[in-house]
Structure 1
């Protein structure tokens, strides 16, 4: 397998969609392959080492990342992993016959058996895909952030967030994600227990090989917070090594305390819950972060509001 992958540092940002895809094609041609899977999906394989990370990402997610490169490139460069990036051009949820046909072909060819260890990864809709397609590699590991279990209206009719996706087929091949993880060695689901819809989906993953880890008050910003704190690469490494347990996650998740995005979200929750004392303490802590000016302004606003509020009216005669 390839020892060095200099092309993984290629900057693909700022390109048109066509040129960006051509850039991935060039990288794939040199180190593996890039294959279109019908009009809405693609697969990029990079042959780099005996361990494989299978990531599911949307085109827009990738193009917003530094260098417009798939997330798995970072792990290939950092850990020497091979990568298989399944890419969706839009909100297709990887629910297309060409996608499951491609995965079927990999199974028939014994592709996953060539690697000593395999990790499937995704976030929310791509977390659904990571869990659902993990059945193709028995004994694999799965790390899914805020995964959706299914959008079949018969099961998840209560979830009103992705109404257009309900027309997709979530009942054919690789359909119901909580069942598809049965053959995995370890499945780690990370979610916010206070985010109602995410918590219900997470609860549907109930097999004995599933560990559900709580990231309270992260909400839909979970992946971004983990990215900004530099925690996600560590989580992926631990998941691959079977060392991602509650204690390990708790240590890593502490980094959120200095993350402005997390603190902003928590401050909004405290304000909505009318907890001025806790909100003020959070703002004072926020003064130590990169967004000290924002939290100083919030503290100033709270002090001004207290000064302007009328005091108790004396009824003494």
Structure 2
């Protein structure tokens, strides 16, 4: 199958100091840089990336001098459930590829978070950083997952290798999982991750937009850098997350989400706190729209 034009520059760039492998439905792109290797996986937003296409997170990791192995989709929403991709990670594991690096981190969001949590089993000493990940789309394991029907139909969910994050996460050193506990489906996936190696970092009322909000609040780079370096503590994370209180857009979003999901008392508490600390925000119109007491 010919290589699509939008991937050709990534192939040429990687082959000068790394490798590019065509795995039929996916591509593996490796850039050799520093002693830390970060393995990333495409997500649904990757389809919106500019052409020519590079692996998710490339610019961020390149600026920090990290080596990078990116798993890219040939077609959008192809959830890494292909035996050839499993073979590839088996080959990396058995061939000692991960042993070249002092640190190995698997990193992704949503479907990319699922990829990070599952394929990290190829390197048990790895750390995983996953934003609102799914754990599986297997109808037998997650029949309540009603999203991503096309991806479920496209993937091989009977392939036993790297299949269920609830199992593979027990084989790795450490995982940080960031998610919205009030997002029903995302929180059900997070609840399946019960291994002691998992740190749950809760981001209430941010839904599937956690990185977008973090970027707006100027904390995304700090959170991600320290999570990859292994220096981010829960206390520091929640201290950084307090930045949301200084943004009116977040408070408006919180009030809407809370009332829409039947948490009017919580919305009232948030409104009272905001009224005391930021009376200049003038949220009266939003308050009337939601039927809350000022």
Normalised by the length of structure 1, the TM-score is 0.77
- Structure 2: segments with no counterpart, 5+ residues: none
The total of aligned residue pairs comes to 282
* Partner Cα separation in structure 2 for residue 305 and residue 211 of structure 1: 35
* Partner Cα separation in structure 1 for residue 250 and residue 17 of structure 2: 38
Select between 189-198 and 259-268 the one with higher mean Cα deviation: 259-268
Task: Indicate how the Cα distance of structure 1 residues 246 and 300 shifts in structure 2: closer, same or farther if over 3 A, else same.
Answer: same
Q: Which residue is equivalent to 1:127? A: 113
Q: Which residue is equivalent to 1:203? A: 191
Matched, 1:164 2:121: no
Task: Indicate how the Cα distance of structure 1 residues 263 and 70 shifts in structure 2: closer, same or farther if over 3 A, else same.
Answer: farther
Contact residue 120 and residue 168 of structure 2 kept, 8 A: yes
Task: Indicate how the Cα distance of structure 1 residues 60 and 73 shifts in structure 2: closer, same or farther if over 3 A, else same.
Answer: same
Task: Indicate how the Cα distance of structure 1 residues 234 and 95 shifts in structure 2: closer, same or farther if over 3 A, else same.
Answer: same
* Partner Cα separation in structure 2 for residue 120 and residue 249 of structure 1: 19
How many angstroms does 1:277 deviate by?
8.4
Matches within 5 A, 1:116-265: 116-167=102-153, 168-171=155-158, 172-259=160-247, 262-265=250-253
Matches within 5 A, 1:29-44: 29-38=15-24, 40-44=25-29
How many angstroms does 1:224 deviate by?
1.8
Task: Indicate how the Cα distance of structure 1 residues 149 and 59 shifts in structure 2: closer, same or farther if over 3 A, else same.
Answer: closer
Say which structure, 1 or 2, has more relative contact order (CA 8 Å, 6+ apart). 2
* Partner Cα separation in structure 2 for residue 123 and residue 238 of structure 1: 16
Q: Which residue is equivalent to 1:92? A: 78
- Structure 1: segments with no counterpart, 5+ residues: 1-16, 289-294, 307-317
